[in-house]
Chains A and B, each alone.
Chain A
Amino acid sequence: MAALQTLHLAHLPPDLAVHVALYTDVRNASFLRDQLLQGNPDFEYALVDASVILSTTHALAAVFRAANDHLKGRLKSRNVHSEIVFSLGANNNIAQSLRTFGITPTTTNLLAIKLSTDPSITSSTISEHLSASIQGIQVEFNDAKLAGLNNIAKIRKLYKLGGVGEEGSKGKRRRKDGTVESSGLVDGTAAKDAERERRELEVAILGLMALRGAV
Chain B
Amino acid sequence: MDGPSPPQPPLPAPFTHTHPAPTLLTQGAEALLYCTYFLTPSHPCALKYRPSKPYRNPILDKRLTRHRILSEARTLVKCRREGVSVPGVLALDAEGDGVSGGWMMMEWVEGKTVREVLVAGAKRRKEGRDDEDGWEEGVTALMGKIGRAVGRMHEVGVVHGDLTTSNIMLGPLAAPQQNGVTTNGEHMEQVGEGLGGEIVLIDFGLAGQSLQDEDKAVDLYVLERAFGSTHPEAEEGFQEVLKVYEESYKGAKVVLKRLEDVRMRGRKRSLLG
Contacts and interface: CB of A to CB of B under 8 A. Distances in A.
A11 B15 contact: yes
Given A71-B14, A72-B13, A208-B77, A61 B39 contact: yes
Interface string A1-38: 00000000111111000000000000000000000000
Interface residues of A, number: 34
A64 B91 contact: yes
Given A57-B39, A74-B95, A204 B17 contact: no
Interface string B8-25: 000001110110000000
B39 A9 contact: yes
Given A11-B15, A13-B17, A203-B107, A57 B43 contact: yes
Given A13-B14, A164-B81, A207 B39 contact: no
A176 B18 CA distance: 39
B91 A211 contact: no
Nearest to B15: A11
A144 interface: no
Interface residues of B, number: 36
Nearest to A59: B39
B88 interface: yes
Contacts of B177: 199
Contacts, number: 94
B141 interface: no
Point out which of A14, A72, A215 has the most chain B C-beta atoms below 10 A from its C-beta. A72
B88 A204 contact: yes
Interface string B162-178: 00000000000000010
Contacts of A206: 88-91
A123 B43 CA distance: 25
A74 B15 CA distance: 18
A68 interface: yes
B262 interface: no
A132 interface: no
13 contacts: A11-B17, A65-B91, A72-B13, A72-B95, A171-B83, A176-B148, A203-B88, A203-B90, A204-B77, A206-B91, A207-B81, A208-B77, A211-B70
Interface of B: 13-15, 17-18, 36-41, 43, 70, 73-74, 76-78, 80-83, 88-95, 97, 104, 107, 148, 152, 177
